Amino acid sequence: MDRLESRTLLSAPTIDGTLGDQVIADTQVLALFAGVVIDSPEDVVVTIEHEASHGVLAGSFEMIDGVHRFEGPASEATSALRGLRFDPTDGRVDVGETEETRFTITVTNADGEVVDDRTTVVSVAIDGTPRILGTLLEQSTTDTSSITPFANVQIASPGRDHAMHTLTIEMDNDAKGEIEGHGGFVTLRGTPDVLTEAIRSLVFVPASNRVTPGETETTGFTIDISIDGDRATDLGTTVISMSMNDAPVITGAGQTHLIGEHTAIAPFIDVAITDADRPGQMLEVTVTLDGNGSFHEDGLPVGDTVVVGGTASEVN
């Protein structure tokens, strides 16, 4: 007998909120999908294609064979899409002229149903404005490692290569860490070449233990370059630091106590146990004797091994 099999087809995915002809200066950075929503009851694959020579599209999408790709639930795809930033290539057209960049978004569900949409950005070449090139979004590190987030940045100022410029860098929150030797704000003076060399050498040190181990925190940097009233601002540098699970610390141990035979002592009175990243985390402390003597609790022997559980403050 033949057997019939039935399968529920998934609803086709949808893309809403795309915009056409978003206009920016070629020295700016744009969140071009800020209002886009991907809807699907099942996981989707989202791809984005654009002319790479027109600029950089940076964010949490993977780059595979020149195509930006994200796979996951529709809600996560929406968040990842909204986090993408487009930085037009400076100086590709003459001053005052424009260049259009088309972005094709394709969404595919588990049934192979496909929907696509397009977004366009029009970048305008600005006269007399210094330029900030090579910034990167979502650079990854840990809260125990430093990073040089401006290693690829170039400062350019057509026609004013030997003039003195003012460069500033500001973190979005000083509590997230520091730019080594500067804190959360940097001011530099020099020619474009000198400033390029200086900014590339700057080191960012994330603050430790600000979030739960395994979670991440994003730090944004605003770069500003100015000369004689002409100014360019770039928001295209971010660092994502992951909090590492630091081991608990034992201090005050290793002391030698001289006592007589059949005399009791509290040998750990000066010992302290701390847990830097999660003070409320449950710990297990095991203490084992080498065979000479035994532990007592409330006047009764409890053997040569004691196990204590609780938070760091409780086990102390």
pLDDT for residue 1: 44
Which segments of the chain have a pLDDT < 50?
1-2, 4-7
Give the domain ranges of the chain.
Answer: 10-126, 128-245, 249-315
Report the C-alpha gap between 73 and 129 in whole angstroms: 42
How far is the first Cα of the chain from the last one, in angstroms, to the nearest whole number? 73
- Cβ–Cβ < 8 Å for 48, 117: no
Place of tokens 């170039």: 154
pLDDT for residue 182: 96
Record the tokens describing residue 8, joined without a space. Answer: 């529920």
Record the tokens describing residue 166, joined without a space. Answer: 């003012």
DSSP string covering 250-273? EES--------TT----TTTT-EE
pLDDT tens sequence across 166-196: 999 999 999 999 999 999 999 999 999 999 9
Which residues does residue 14 pair with via DSSP β-bridges, in sequence order?
Answer: 39
pLDDT for residue 258: 67
- Using alpha carbons only, give the angle 28, 84, 20 rounded to the nearest 5 degrees: 70
Asked if domains 10-126 and 128-245 share a fold, the reply is: yes
- pTM for the predicted model, two decimal places: 0.57
3-state SS record for 48-84: EECCHHHEEEECCCEEECCEEEEEECHHHHHHHHHCC
Q: Which of 85, 86, 9 is nearest to 42 (CA)?
A: 9
pLDDT for residue 157: 87
pLDDT for residue 6: 45
Report the C-alpha gap between 159 and 205 in whole angstroms: 35
pLDDT for residue 267: 74
CATH 2.60.40: does it fit domain 128-245? Answer: yes
Return the CATH number of the domain spanning residue range 10-126. 2.60.40.10
